[in-house]
């Protein structure tokens, strides 16, 4: 089973324990959870980290791990993307499904175009075609059928592994880091800038919003192990459907 699938399966098993328990109940040990989920203790530890960041569990050093009191049903309201490790960045649809919701693609499109200025500045010139164009892949992620996020990926025509086939990204099981890795680029870092902007007409149409409405937008660079920016992305969210919580853990 791929590592990401093991994490997803272990998370589902541990969440089932949380759902069946009450606030203050002590969870089994890491070894017992690993045996229950059929995974390693390392995988269990990663899941517990996620749940701790999310606030679903409480850690009391020397005493154990306990179910936290929740103010509301975790499956209600917007999806909260709490914690994603770098090697699991592309698994957002899996996390949505594991939360009891259903992730799907409401729209998918591929264009061959001249990139916007910020993308052209970030990518090496040789990543563009002879005509100065590249691929733009536009995906609209829906949660329980409601449009929640527009993802625009700006991709070179080819990578060391060969010419790219962007239509492969129409499969939600093919996340972008894996797609790039299979085509010869190993991503080790993402750099993101979050901005408040007016919603453009295309994004408004895809998200079911009014053009010009306030919109959160993230521009993201995918950087490979060679230090090169391999691809760029622009993400727009419906805050009433999906939100992100940033957690900074303080060491003891």
Residue-by-residue DSSP string for 124-178: -GGGS-TTS-EEEEEEEEEETTEEEEEEEEEE-SEETTEE--GGGGGSTTS-HHH
- CA 136/CA 187 separation, integer angstroms: 19
Contact 162, 191 (CB under 8 A): no
Contact 188, 230 (CB under 8 A): no
Q: Provide the pLDDT for residue 175.
A: 85
Locate 63 and state its tokens: 């005493």
Q: Provide the pLDDT for residue 78.
A: 65
Q: Give residue 102's Cα distance to chain centre.
A: 15
Contact 160, 185 (CB under 8 A): yes
Q: Which helix (H) or strand (E) holds 112?
A: strand 103-113
Taking CA atoms, 185 is separated from 7, 30, 168, in Å, by 24, 35, 16
Q: Provide the pLDDT for residue 76.
A: 56
Q: Provide the pLDDT for residue 65.
A: 92
Weakly modelled stretches of the chain, pLDDT under 70: 1-4, 70-91, 244-252
Q: Provide the pLDDT for residue 144.
A: 92
3-state secondary structure of 242: strand
Q: Which of 86, 103, 99, 2 is nearest to 56 (CA)?
A: 99
Q: Provide the pLDDT for residue 90.
A: 47
């Amino acid at each position: 089973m791929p590592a990401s699938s093991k994490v997803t399966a272990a998370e589902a098993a541990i969440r089932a324990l949380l759902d069946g328990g009450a606030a203050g109940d002590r969870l089994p040990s890491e070894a017992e959870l690993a045996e229950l989920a059929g995974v390693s203790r390392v995988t269990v530890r990663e899941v517990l980290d996620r749940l701790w960041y999310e606030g679903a569990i409480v850690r009391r050093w020397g005493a154990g791990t306990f179910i936290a009191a929740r103010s509301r049903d975790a499956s209600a309201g917007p999806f909260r993307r709490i914690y994603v490790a770098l090697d699991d960045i592309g698994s957002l649809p899996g996390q949505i499904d594991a939360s009891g919701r259903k992730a799907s693609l409401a729209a998918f499109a591929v264009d061959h175009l001249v990139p916007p200025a910020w993308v052209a500045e970030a990518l090496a010139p040789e990543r563009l075609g002879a005509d100065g164009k590249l691929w733009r892949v536009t995906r609209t992620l829906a949660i329980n059928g409601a449009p929640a996020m527009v993802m625009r990926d700006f991709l070179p025509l080819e990578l060391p592994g060969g010419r790219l086939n962007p239509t492969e990204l129409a499969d939600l099981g093919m996340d972008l880091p894996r797609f790039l890795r299979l085509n010869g680029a190993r991503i080790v870092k993402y750099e993101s800038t979050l901005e408040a902007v007016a919603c453009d007409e295309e994004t408004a149409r895809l998200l079911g919003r009014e053009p010009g409405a306030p919109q959160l937008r993230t521009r993201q660079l995918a950087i490979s192990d060679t230090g090169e920016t391999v691809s760029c992305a622009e993400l727009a969210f419906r805050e009433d459907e999906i939100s992100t919580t940033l957690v900074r853990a303080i060491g003891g």
